[in-house]
Amino acid sequence: MKNTVTEIVFLIEEDPEGGYTAKALGESIFTQTDNIASLKEMLRDAVRCHFPDQANRPKAIRLHIVRS
C-alpha cells in the first residue's frame, strides 16, 4: 500500500533551556538540538528512520518556526 503523504510538517520552538525542539504534526517524530542547522540534519535523519521505505517517505520537510 502506497503512502499518500507528500510532505511532513514540523513545529519548531525555542527551548527555554536553549536550543530548539521539533515535533512532527501527525507523526510520532520528535527531536531537539542546539541550532537550526543541526536541527535540519537531525530531522532529515529522523524522517528517514520513521519512513524506512523510500517510496513511502514524504518528499518535502516543512518547518514551521514559532518564536516566543
Q: Of 2-11, 14-23, 55-64, give the lowest mean pLDDT range.
A: 2-11
How many structural domains does the chain have? Answer: 1
Tens digits of residue pLDDT in 9-49? 999 999 999 999 999 999 999 999 999 999 999 999 999 99
Whether 23 is covered by a domain: the verdict is yes
Whether 37 is covered by a domain: the verdict is yes
Q: What is the pLDDT of residue 5?
A: 73
Give the domain extent around 36.
7-66
pTM above 0.85, yes or no: yes
3-state helix, strand, coil in the chain (%, to 5): 25, 35, 40
Whether 50 is covered by a domain: the verdict is yes
Buried b (16+ CB within 10 A) or exposed e, 15-42: eeeeebbbebeebebebbbeeeeebbee
Three cell numbers, residue 13: 520552538
Q: What is the pLDDT of residue 67?
A: 83
Whether 52 is covered by a domain: the verdict is yes
